[in-house]
């Protein structure tokens, strides 16, 4: 056959199934069992002299709720999922922990969902697979106080996961969540989040360092206010030499929904209008600068360029390099 026709293409398998399979004449080996697990999901890249290691903490997949995108009908969300080659009526949220090795210090940025349970909490297993001992971590920098970012600060015994690390948090985030008045006024559904913040930070009482915005929190990592998702939500500029990375934290969640459609409001954004304003400003800037962006909820390895497309944006993942 020298012609490749569409009809041919679609029927070739059926033809083959009708009996033309070549016999495998190799010696019979024991049947190879399929591998039971995914490989550990870690990836390294450089920003100037700073080494970044991305660790997937896992994924959560759940049915699409009608209010998942607050200001869009279900059909529009399904159409966007389909356009992004994702299954309809279902949502998968990715979680990615970032480590940076900067000036001889090992720094974790956001900690993931905590102890392993099902498809999340994979961080400690993957850190072990790449030979990183949690005792060697010097600092943990937290972007905001949602559970998927802070729960990994403590292990199943409720003691610090990174026992030698200083914990640094945005002062505006601390002020909001630790305020007893804010907790008492919060809707019932949000009270758990306030209580979780108190549970997680309990072992660090009196030892948490609060940082403001526009500060170099650790060498090369500067805090940037990106509020809306939470009242103290923080992103970072990571710079070294000519290398630049914008670590966005939760400026957006699933890219094919909320980067492709920056006006869509995710149920997770506490001030949705402010979050949208922040999102458009950030993406206008990083697209104009052609700056690489790391996203906690981007698909692993969670680094991408942002291409402006009219009033919207397109997610362009970096090319994986098999060598450092």
79, 216, 263, 273: which one contacts a copy of itself (CB under 8 A)? 216
Q: Supply the minimum distance, in Å, between the C-beta of residue 189 and a copy of itself.
A: 26
Q: Which of 58, 45, 48, 36 has the alpha carbon at shortest distance from 300?
A: 58
Mode of pairing for the β-strands spanning 209-211 and 312-317: unpaired
Give the residue with the Cβ less far from a copy of itself, 67 or 136. 136
Asked if residue 293 binds a copy of itself (CB under 8 A), the reply is: no
Judged by CB under 8 A, the stretch of 40-48, 145-153, 177-185, 262-270 that binds a copy of itself is 40-48
Pick between residue 146 and residue 297 the one whose CB is nearest to a copy of itself.
297
Residues 241 to 260: which contact a copy of itself by CB under 8 A? none
> What tokens were used for 313?
């944006």
Q: How far apart are CA 248 and CA 231, in angstroms?
A: 15
Encoded tokens for 218? 């650790």
Total number of residues binding a copy of itself (CB under 8 A)? 99
171 binding a copy of itself? (CB under 8 A): no
Residues 90 to 119 in contact with a copy of itself, rule: CB under 8 A: 92, 94, 101, 104-106, 119
- Tell which positions 41-60 bind a copy of itself, by CB under 8 A: 41-44, 51, 53, 56-59
CA terminus-to-terminus distance, the chain: 43
Interaction between residue 75 and a copy of itself (CB under 8 A): no
β-pairing, 209-211 vs 166-170, is: parallel
In the complex, minimum distance from the CB of residue 25 to a copy of itself, in angstroms, rounded to a whole number? 6
- Angle 196-279-173 (CA atoms, 0-180°, nearest 5)? 30
With binding defined as CB under 8 A, does residue 27 bind a copy of itself? Answer: yes
Put residue 71 in one of left, alpha, beta given phi > 0 → left and psi -120 to 50 → alpha: alpha
Tell which residue, 141, 145, 151, has the closest CA to residue 172.
145
What are the structure tokens assigned to 195, written together? Answer: 């209580």
Q: Token digits for 323?
A: 């060598």
Asked if residue 189 binds a copy of itself (CB under 8 A), the reply is no
Check binding of 218 to a copy of itself (CB under 8 A): yes
Is residue 275 at the binding interface for a copy of itself, with CB under 8 A as the rule? no
- Taking the C-alpha atoms of residue 30 and residue 13, their distance in angstroms, rounded to an integer, is 27
Tell me how far, at minimum, the Cβ of 32 lies from a copy of itself, in Å. 4
The site string for a copy of itself over 120-139 (x = CB under 8 A, - otherwise) reads --x-------xx----x-xx
- Tally of CB atoms within 10 A around 7: 7
Backbone angles phi, psi at 220, to 5 degrees: 90, -10
Of the candidates 24, 75, 157, 180, which one interacts with a copy of itself according to CB under 8 A?
24
Q: Which is nearer to a copy of itself, 179 or 289 (CB)?
A: 289
């Amino acid at each position: 056959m020298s012609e490749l026709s569409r009809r041919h293409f679609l029927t070739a398998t059926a033809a083959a199934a009708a009996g033309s399979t070549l016999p495998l004449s190799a010696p019979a080996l024991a049947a190879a069992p399929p591998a039971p697990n995914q490989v550990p999901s870690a990836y390294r890249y450089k920003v100037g002299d700073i080494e970044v290691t991305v660790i997937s903490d896992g994924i959560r997949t759940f049915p699409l709720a009608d209010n998942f995108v607050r200001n869009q009908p279900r059909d529009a969300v399904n159409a966007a999922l389909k356009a992004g080659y994702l299954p309809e009526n279902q949502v998968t949220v990715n979680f990615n922990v970032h480590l940076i090795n900067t000036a001889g210090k090992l720094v974790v940025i956001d900690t993931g969902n905590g102890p392993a349970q099902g498809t999340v909490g994979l961080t400690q297993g993957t850190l072990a697979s790449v030979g990183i001992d949690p005792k060697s971590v010097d600092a943990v920098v937290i972007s905001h106080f949602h559970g998927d970012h802070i729960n990994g600060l403590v292990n199943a015994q409720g003691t610090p996961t990174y026992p030698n690390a200083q914990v640094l948090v945005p002062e505006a985030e601390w002020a909001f969540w630790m305020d007893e008045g804010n907790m008492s006024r919060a809707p019932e559904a949000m009270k758990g989040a306030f209580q979780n913040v108190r549970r997680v930070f309990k072992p660090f009482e009196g030892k948490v360092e609060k940082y403001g915005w526009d500060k170099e929190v650790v060498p090369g990592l500067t805090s940037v206010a990106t509020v809306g998702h939470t009242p103290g939500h923080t992103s970072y500029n990571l710079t070294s030499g000519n290398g630049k990375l914008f670590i966005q934290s939760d400026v957006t969640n699933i890219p094919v929904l909320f980067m492709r459609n920056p006006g869509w409001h995710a149920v997770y954004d506490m001030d949705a209008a402010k979050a949208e304003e922040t999102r458009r400003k950030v993406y206008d800037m990083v697209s104009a600068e052609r700056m690489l962006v790391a996203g906690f909820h981007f698909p692993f390895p969670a680094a991408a360029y942002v291409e402006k497309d009219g009033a919207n944006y397109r997610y362009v993942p970096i090319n994986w390099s098999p060598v450092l």
